[in-house]
Chain A
Amino acid sequence: MPTFNLKVNNEKHTVEADADTPLLWVLRDKINLVGTKFGCGIGQCGACTVHVDGNATRSCLLKISQAEGANITTIEGLSEYGDHPVQQAWKEVDVPQCGYCQAGQIMTASAFLKTNPSPSQTEIRDAMHGNICRCAAYNSIEEAVKVASEKLS
């Protein structure tokens, strides 16, 4: 089985896996970072969103062979003390219901706000449209992205 070198949350990991293994399962089963969630496996729900070189990326679609050399950030590495402005906003607004999709929502929001720190409501709704929340906490997610953008600007 081939070996791959990954850089996740600023730590280096050497992982043995089939070349077609999605990054999602490498993170969860091999590196023990289970904050990144499995939802659909086909890039439709966004629960598995991580940052690859700063861009929001579906880790269920990215093969480990494509992830070598990239800077990968997961929810566990978004901030050292869980106090990234987006995490703070999620806490202030009390967004989660079941909470399962929220890591993906937070990773999508944080990558988006980096490129657009003062978005309009329409831009927020467009940016978050790819992430499904089955509990439909959408009003709160929308508000939390707004609160986070205020913290950032």
Chain B
Amino acid sequence: MAPSKKMTFSRRSFLKSSALASGGMIIGFNLFNACKPEAKLPVDLSALNYNDFNAFIKISEEGKVTIFSPNPEIGQGVKTSMPMIIAEELDVLWEDVYVVQAPLDTKNYTRQVAGGSQSIRFGWEPLRQTGATAKQMLVNAAAARWGVDASECSAKNGVITNAKGDKLGYGDVVLEAAGLEVPEDVTLKDPKDFTIIGQGKGNVDIDKIITGKPLYGLDYKEEGMLYATVLRPPAFGQILESFDDSEARALPGVVDVITIGEKVRAYNDSGKNSWTMPMSGTDKVVVIGKTTWDAMKGKKAIKAVWKTETALESSEIHDKVLLDLLEGNKFNTRRQDGNVKQAFANADKVLERVYESPFLPHNCMEPMNFFANVSPEKVRLVGPVQTPEAAAQVVADLLERDLEDVSIDMTRMGGGFGRRLYGDFVYEAAEISNAIQKPIKLVSSREDDMTMGVYRPSSKYKISASIKSGKITGYHLKEASINGNMYGLIPNFFPAGAIENYQVDTANYKSNITTGAWRAPYTNFLASAEQSFFDELAEELGVDRVQMHMDLLDNVKNNPDANIEYSPERLQGVLQLAIEKSNWGKTEVGVFQGLSVYYCHNTHVAEVADITMEDGVPSVKRVTCAVDCGIVVNPFGAMNQIKGGVLDGIGHAMYADFGFVDGVPKSNNFDSYQMIRMGQTPQVDVHFIESDIDPTGLGEPTLPPIGAAVANAIYAATGNRINKQPLINNLEPKEKVLG
């Protein structure tokens, strides 16, 4: 998921334009690959080719603009913000722009997934180029008609004006423009001239959302569609032995009971599969019903016998193995500066702490579901998935079909948070429909959704720092996690580069419990651990924690390193802004503050949490969040992502308690698993660093720092350092260790 540092684009070779048979002009572009020279644009909208072009702009003869937004929408706002970037450079009124989710083509499409907060960062330059190129072609067409030089013409809000003051609308010249050469070089706007970017634009689906129109996967229906529920083993490590479906079959709404699993197992055995699939080693019992309720009722009537195939793991075991790993020597060293060992040997004092986090389910509000209609002619799939192209490929392999036979249409997603990166529910839907050769909708109950997870793995960190003559001389971070470790450039995030002797080591334990990406993978807890540690370290050193960070970041400036992609100046900037806006250190009596500063997903963030204690329980009253994401494309969407990330982070750090007993998830619905609710939420005050630097993403980076800001505030209030999440379960101080 780590992005390359430099993004270069063949200036405009990713663009093609054509006149449409239905009137108007279409411009196709490819965000991530330059188009092949032989690539041809369709003249019929139904033939949009997502192989060569993954997004399109249509300009009608009435001057209306339709933008086929290329990226999956999971609530992160790209269906609004990416078209805004095009509309800005195209220079049309936002009111004249209509945005539709681009459908998927079956043939080898190239496409960005929703993940890693990278859509805006990658899309910024090519989206601007696209809009500006289209505008230049329209201006060139108008200039040709007037017989004047294009440089004498200007365009604004969809109208082209020449030196004499004659005017032509974009719609008036689209047909001529479509026949022109695509210009080699175009001028992009100066950010100070932006009229759409930087202005708050509402969610483009708002009217449908507030009136309850069908939008989501669960809302999708076709004539003759049946509903399918899947009975999976209650515990990770178990498989199906036998089942009795006689009661289920006797129900009037139950159409059929089948088993699936064979195709997924064969696919796994083939060695082709690189995707995580929960409970993929077992047969599963599928109940097909006339309605969702029929299928759910039928599933409850199945009497299944399960047998244990692999170890049934409990959280107690995970806690022990992870702590053992931290104390052991089975590490991969991921970054090493100087000599940590020596620094620790020479230290006056060493501070060492262990930080612990639980597994987490994603709990998207819309439970996992997918529509599949498998017939001898084709495989039609419709629903919410963050990785459509990978899912199509897996389904083709699974059913031994040509990829050309498989199509996926995306619906709006009722949340993603990483869960919909994994297409297990797509494969199940395909296997079910393949077995009965009928259109079906796979539906999950909340219990299914929470217990068939691809969970955020439980992780533990041991952080040690050596202190010599009042200075931090060494920093050693050890990670023990399950089924994987921090990836990409994370070992190079702050405080890498700030401390002379620095080392990051990782170790992991293989579990049969499926784990994967969860909003801000790894950093979602790593930031809590490190920023809690620095709070304690500042106290140990007897220095101001703000000044300590400023000094550490100064060290980074003098230490150029190509692997360090965070900017010490920008982290200092957000830190100062958060301090200033939060009235740091000047709160009223009874209010306690905690600070956290972090960089991830290319965005720099500092947060201050203000808490009060009510009957011994912390209540977060306000969060001040300072963000440097470069240019803010859509302030409305940005605010939503930032505030949502902070509150989501508070909820999970404070309350989220999840784990396993003998392979069985401890919770399976919202009565036994606490999600943050309105009464527990503070107001989040957001402050942006004003910037004309290219924008970066906001879907994830405000979540990781908040756990430490809250824990540090709890320390300020109570004198207790809570190094284990959920914080609310660990409020009581542990036994004091004397000496």
Contacts and interface: CB of A to CB of B under 8 A. Distances in A.
Given A44-B671, A134-B363, A94 B640 contact: yes
B415 A140 contact: no
Interface residues of A, number: 58
A129 interface: yes
B215 A99 contact: yes
Contact of A101 (B292, B365, B648): B365
A75 interface: yes
B212 A34 contact: yes
A70 interface: no
B446 interface: yes
B724 interface: no
B679 interface: yes
B212 A99 contact: no
Nearest to B251: A18
Contacts of B644: 97, 135-137
A126 B413 contact: no
Given A34-B218, A136-B651, A140-B643, A97 B76 contact: yes
Contacts of A119: none
A96 B206 CA distance: 7
A29 B291 contact: yes
Nearest to A39: B365
Given A28-B292, A137-B640, A140-B643, A100 B253 contact: no
B446 A40 contact: yes
A4 interface: no
A38 B369 CA distance: 12
Given A34-B219, A99-B75, A101-B365, A94 B293 contact: no
A25 B227 CA distance: 12
A30 interface: yes
Contacts, number: 183
Nearest to A141: B678
Interface string B435-468: 0000000000110000000000000000000000
Given A47-B365, A94-B200, A139 B681 contact: yes
A142 B683 CA distance: 10
A100 B636 CA distance: 18
A139 B75 contact: no
* Interface residue SS majority, chain B: loop
* Interface residue SS majority, chain A: loop
A33 interface: yes
B677 A139 contact: no
B225 to A, nearest CB: 10
A63 to B, nearest CB: 11
B202 interface: yes
Given A128-B678, A136-B647, A21 B212 contact: no
B75 A35 contact: no
A114 interface: no
A91 interface: yes
Interface string B393-434: 000000000000000000011111100000000000000000
Given A18-B253, A38-B218, A38-B367, A136 B676 contact: yes
Given A29-B292, A132-B365, A98 B75 contact: yes
Interface string A28-62: 11101111111111101101000000000000000
Nearest to B253: A18
A30 B289 CA distance: 13
Contacts of B297: 18
**In the complex, which range does the number of interface residues on chain B fall in?**
35 or more
A47 B366 CA distance: 9
B689 interface: no
Nearest to B206: A91
A149 interface: no
B98 interface: no
Interface in B201-219: 202-203, 205-207, 209-216, 218-219
Contacts of A36: 212
Contact of B670 (A1, A132, A138, A140): A132
A73 to B, nearest CB: 11
B364 interface: yes
Contact of A126 (B416, B676, B679): B679
Contacts of A137: 640, 643-644
Contacts of A112: none
B442 to A, nearest CB: 14
Interface in A62-77: 74-76
Interface in A97-126: 97-103, 106, 125-126
A85 B221 CA distance: 31
A69 B237 CA distance: 49
Given A91-B202, A97-B641, A138 B678 contact: yes
A98 B76 CA distance: 7
Contacts of B675: 45, 132, 134
Contact of A94 (B74, B203, B212, B648): B203
Contacts of A97: 75-77, 640-641, 644
B328 interface: no
Nearest to A143: B683
Looking at A106, A130, A136, the one whose CB has the most chain B CB atoms below 10 A away is A136
B677 A99 contact: no
B175 interface: no
A115 to B, nearest CB: 18
Contact of B446 (A35, A39, A106): A39
B66 interface: no
B669 interface: yes
Given A42-B671, A100-B414, A125-B679, A138 B647 contact: yes
B488 interface: no
Contacts of A139: 643, 647, 681, 683-684
B47 to A, nearest CB: 30
Contacts of A100: 216, 364-366, 414-415
A87 B212 CA distance: 11
6 contacts: A17-B291, A17-B293, A36-B212, A75-B210, A100-B366, A134-B365
Interface of A: 1, 17-18, 21-22, 25, 28-30, 32-42, 44-45, 47, 74-76, 78, 82, 87, 90-91, 94, 96-103, 106, 125-126, 128-142
Given A17-B291, A39-B367, A45-B365, 14 more contacts: A38-B218, A39-B670, A75-B212, A87-B211, A97-B644, A98-B75, A99-B75, A99-B215, A131-B678, A134-B417, A135-B75, A138-B676, A138-B678, A139-B684
Interface of B: 74-77, 200, 202-203, 205-207, 209-216, 218-219, 221, 227, 252-253, 291-293, 297, 363-367, 412-417, 445-446, 636, 640-641, 643-648, 651, 669-671, 675-679, 681, 683-684
